Chain A
């Protein structure tokens, strides 16, 4: 096995991003993935922070926050790179760090993201006269009436109409948004024809579940020009087509950039040489194999993806390098009484602490490995779900780690 300039461990958003950035800079990159990553679960939008202007708000975060290590420059560059990569893969994203884009969710709330797929950008919803909320016969997880009732709270003066289209999707089993997106891919005309029957005008909006295909913007490009009204896709329960589109867009970009992707490759330990890691050991169904590398990026995720595990209380671990994990001790600090509350959840702040170059450090601040960098949900010190920073931390930490 030849030595890679960079090995990225993890096939989620941060792993893809890191590999893409490094490859773009001419490095020889190997990406080791195990499982499907968490993108198929994700909304598809990239949240940076729950603030009107994320770039300004980031300045006020505490010093241990990952954004403080990443720095404003990398944040900005990451956002630009992300928009560029997705555009090249025909999945246009809109947005910038100084503002937030509203997106309609499947339950009819608005969510705000710095970067959003063009198909979900609901900025212009406020200018519309009439809003059609369209459910599809047999498609589960999308309840137009509930959505409209909740969305009315944001737009009390607008006219809402709930409609139902029969696209003949019903078969022997439940149809999810992903199924519908797959069926409609290359078959968009039935949806376009159905939506035309609504007779929605130039000033109207049509809200649909995210079923415009699983590859880039092609399905939307078929439907959009046929309608006078603007169509908006919502978020949905997993599996989420916008998340899958993003996953596929990255894979397309990585393949084009010469990144070698090794699927079903579970990294079990590192080959350590003093303060450097010279490679990682992968276990697959056949045998163990060493992948040598000059530099490693750890993007295995948090508790959800198994990048951090905890078998017994107060004993969270990072299983590959055994890097010390920061966590709040004791039952009281571990979680809040309310699942959805006004404070971060302690367990979600669990993760690895790093220096400014995102290298893992121990309690005393000592750098543990010179050439290992930690990104995305592996990073500790903030509740990325509570503060709506998961996507932003993923891509900006990846950008930084790939460029230092």
Chain B
């Protein structure tokens, strides 16, 4: 039987953070994830690295955690964080009294909030509504790429011996006399069921933590809370722009590279798998968003998406916006199952802290006294300037940095060597995100690449301006050649699946220039490629 000291359940930021932390402390850890990594709230969010300003009035403990972790993330995840800074703006319709509370809250929480004049605010953010904005402050918010940070967490964990298995679902727990012996899992592709022996298991399944708890017969107070977001095809803002009011829907704009994400709504849902979005949600976000940016509707929307926050609800606690953004650790020894822990709640910004606290408890149980080092050691080594210079011969310099940080030192070296040796591998599979064939093929070989979408999340093919119009065909062809799963050979099915995945996020925002893109997709793939195929009727 396969064995690990600790099995971590859930491949989101929290689980990956725990895997890294344990591995660095010399604990043999294995992470299992039922789908692909960062498939839940760790990628389905606005990508805001909180300064804590958003929590400064209501939840100062969360605010303090945020500002501390914010500084740590910038240090350990340099290439994942875009230090764009943040701005809080109060509109004429917002409560003036709240501004005072907020300024005091920031001061009390250790968040530097610098008031600026309106002239300065409009200079920094020219699209802000001259009509509505009444005051503005700068805070140390930033943008963080949840995907990239997660890939780097994996690389870091692996360097210290951490292991992971994706598409491996937990289906039960094995215990003897109230003591955990192992975790029963199922391979999602082959259907094979087997057990992984362990002393300790950590339920870090986020929105799914309640389901995992049920398998062990324990009750966990987690409420999936769906948040819907909109990605625009332009950089509308230079800073993270927040509304200075009591936190509500649609009041955060986060710039990421060449796009902007507007979020978020908040709706309790029974099922964390519910990532559906609707025209009504989009319309409601736009209505609120255009109070801050009046010309919002002139920008092309790329897509909409949703994820579920795993809100922790203690017995009798509040739900939705009022629920705490803090986190909780439960030792299920209290429920009669020694060796099982659950960690729920929290947010991406504080995933490292959550992992540290969790690992402190695990290590105490294991008698491991190695201190946590995750706050000091950078996630990955920096890619050498020399390798970047070599790569610059083959891509635009904008693409070099992106590729370097998404691939990491070793893979980047391999890809650059391939680009130098084989001119055909320089073909851009995805022009929007500057992804070469060499990179796609390298990622196809990775042990977490099973289906085209796994490769998409790693390389970002299909996630840019054209939303797969051009790269869907190329990705399907390359994957048919390289893919490990037999299903990869069915290139037409994979191609349609890939575009259908994009369609899910486009459908609720099908207006304006998004309509043009969709008509182009259909003209290419239905008229020119006849992917719906067959004989004429």
Q: Could you give, for residues 233-267 of chain B, a 1 whenever the CB lies within 8 Å of some chain A CB and a 0 otherwise?
A: 00000000000000000000000000000000000
Identify the closest chain B residue to A105 (Cβ). Answer: B529
**A143-B508 in contact given A138-B423, A340-B500 (Cβ < 8 Å):** no
**A235-B528 in contact given A107-B473, A149-B491, A174-B427 (Cβ < 8 Å):** yes
B527 touches A109 (CB 8 A): no
CA distance A311 to B299 in the complex (A): 10
Q: Could you give, for residues 383-404 of chain A, a 1 whenever the CB lies within 8 Å of some chain B CB and a 0 otherwise?
A: 0011010100000000000000
Distance of B504 from chain A, by nearest CB (Å): 9
Q: Could you give, for residues 138-176 of chain A, a 1 whenever the CB lies within 8 Å of some chain B CB and a 0 otherwise?
A: 101101011001100000000000000000001000100
A36: interface (CB < 8 Å): no
**A310-B507 in contact given A107-B529, A146-B491, A237-B524 (Cβ < 8 Å):** no
A240 touches B528 (CB 8 A): yes
Tally of chain B residues near chain A (CB < 8 A): 53
Q: Which of B207-215, B369-377, B514-522 contacts A (4 or more CB under 8 A)?
A: B514-522
One of B474, B478, B500 near A339 (C-beta < 8 A): B500
B476: interface (CB < 8 Å): yes
CA distance A340 to B500 in the complex (A): 8
B476 touches A170 (CB 8 A): no
Q: Could you give, for residues 238-278 of chain A, a 1 whenever the CB lies within 8 Å of some chain B CB and a 0 otherwise?
A: 10100000000000000000000000000000000000000
**A110-B519 in contact given A313-B279, A339-B500 (Cβ < 8 Å):** no
Q: Which of A44-52, A124-132, A292-300, A365-373 contacts B (4 or more CB under 8 A)?
A: A44-52
A-contacting residues, B459-493, CB 8 Å:
470, 473-474, 476-478, 480-481, 489, 491-492
B496: interface (CB < 8 Å): yes
B503 contact set on A, CB distance < 8 A: 338-339
CA distance A52 to B535 in the complex (A): 8
B529 touches A235 (CB 8 A): yes
A374: interface (CB < 8 Å): no
Report whether over half of chain A's contact residues are helix, strand or loop; otherwise say mixed.
loop
A100: interface (CB < 8 Å): yes
Identify the closest chain A residue to B479 (Cβ). Answer: A146
A322: interface (CB < 8 Å): no
B477 touches A340 (CB 8 A): no
A51 contact set on B, CB distance < 8 A: 536-537
Distance of A402 from chain B, by nearest CB (Å): 24
Identify the closest chain A residue to B530 (Cβ). Answer: A111
CA distance A91 to B478 in the complex (A): 34
B92: interface (CB < 8 Å): no
CA distance A11 to B515 in the complex (A): 20
Distance of B251 from chain A, by nearest CB (Å): 21
CA distance A396 to B489 in the complex (A): 41
Identify the closest chain B residue to A104 (Cβ). Answer: B530
A43: interface (CB < 8 Å): yes
A339 touches B492 (CB 8 A): no
A238 contact set on B, CB distance < 8 A: 524
B427 touches A41 (CB 8 A): no
CA distance A340 to B472 in the complex (A): 14
CA distance A340 to B521 in the complex (A): 10
A345 touches B522 (CB 8 A): yes
B528 touches A236 (CB 8 A): yes
B512 touches A388 (CB 8 A): no
A146 touches B423 (CB 8 A): no
B495: interface (CB < 8 Å): yes
B529 touches A106 (CB 8 A): yes
B499: interface (CB < 8 Å): yes
Output the residue of B480, B503, B524 with the most chain A CB within 10 A.
Answer: B524
Report whether over half of chain B's contact residues are helix, strand or loop; otherwise say mixed.
helix
B491 touches A385 (CB 8 A): no
A107 contact set on B, CB distance < 8 A: 473, 476, 491-492, 495, 529, 531
Distance of B19 from chain A, by nearest CB (Å): 36
A348: interface (CB < 8 Å): yes
A353: interface (CB < 8 Å): no
Identify the closest chain A residue to B470 (Cβ). Answer: A237
B414: interface (CB < 8 Å): no
B520 contact set on A, CB distance < 8 A: 41, 304
Distance of A267 from chain B, by nearest CB (Å): 19
Distance of B228 from chain A, by nearest CB (Å): 14
A112: interface (CB < 8 Å): yes
A111 contact set on B, CB distance < 8 A: 527-530
A217: interface (CB < 8 Å): no
A137 contact set on B, CB distance < 8 A: 424
A3: interface (CB < 8 Å): no
B496 touches A340 (CB 8 A): yes
A331 touches B278 (CB 8 A): yes
A141 touches B474 (CB 8 A): yes
B533: interface (CB < 8 Å): yes
A310 touches B512 (CB 8 A): yes
A50 contact set on B, CB distance < 8 A: 536-537
A109 touches B508 (CB 8 A): no
Identify the closest chain B residue to A175 (Cβ). Answer: B427
A237 touches B511 (CB 8 A): no
One of B424, B478, B533 near A138 (C-beta < 8 A): B424
B532 contact set on A, CB distance < 8 A: 340
B535 contact set on A, CB distance < 8 A: 52, 112
B474 contact set on A, CB distance < 8 A: 140-141, 143
A174 touches B491 (CB 8 A): no
A42: interface (CB < 8 Å): yes
CA distance A347 to B478 in the complex (A): 32
CA distance A262 to B151 in the complex (A): 53
B519 touches A303 (CB 8 A): yes
A347 touches B521 (CB 8 A): no
A345 contact set on B, CB distance < 8 A: 522
Distance of A243 from chain B, by nearest CB (Å): 9
**A52-B537 in contact given A109-B531, A111-B530, A331-B279 (Cβ < 8 Å):** yes
Identify the closest chain B residue to A235 (Cβ). Answer: B528
CA distance A100 to B495 in the complex (A): 26
B-contacting residues, A40-90, CB 8 Å:
41-43, 47, 50-52, 57
Distance of B112 from chain A, by nearest CB (Å): 40
A47 touches B527 (CB 8 A): yes
A335: interface (CB < 8 Å): yes
B510 contact set on A, CB distance < 8 A: 334-335, 347
B428: interface (CB < 8 Å): yes
One of A42, A339, A388 near B521 (C-beta < 8 A): A339
CA distance A347 to B516 in the complex (A): 11
A-contacting residues, B276-291, CB 8 Å:
278-280, 283
Distance of A150 from chain B, by nearest CB (Å): 6
CA distance A240 to B527 in the complex (A): 13
B381: interface (CB < 8 Å): no
B518 contact set on A, CB distance < 8 A: 303, 347
Q: Could you give, for residues 323-360 of chain A, a 1 whenever the CB lies within 8 Å of some chain B CB and a 0 otherwise?
A: 00000000100110111100001011000000000000
Q: List 20 A-B contacts (CB under 8 A).
A: A42-B528, A52-B536, A107-B492, A107-B495, A109-B530, A109-B531, A109-B533, A143-B473, A143-B480, A150-B491, A235-B528, A304-B515, A304-B516, A310-B511, A310-B515, A313-B511, A331-B280, A334-B510, A339-B521, A385-B519
Top 7 A-B pairs, shortest CB-CB distance: A143-B477, A111-B530, A339-B503, A304-B519, A331-B279, A303-B515, A43-B528
Other than A237-B524, A237-B528, give 15 A-B pairs with Cβ distance below 8 A.
A38-B523, A41-B528, A42-B528, A47-B527, A109-B529, A109-B533, A110-B530, A111-B529, A141-B470, A143-B477, A145-B477, A174-B426, A311-B512, A339-B496, A385-B522
Residues of A within 8 A of B (CB): 38, 41-43, 47, 50-52, 57, 100, 105-107, 109-112, 137-138, 140-141, 143, 145-146, 149-150, 170, 174, 235-238, 240, 302-304, 306, 309-313, 331, 334-335, 337-340, 345, 347-348, 385-386, 388, 390
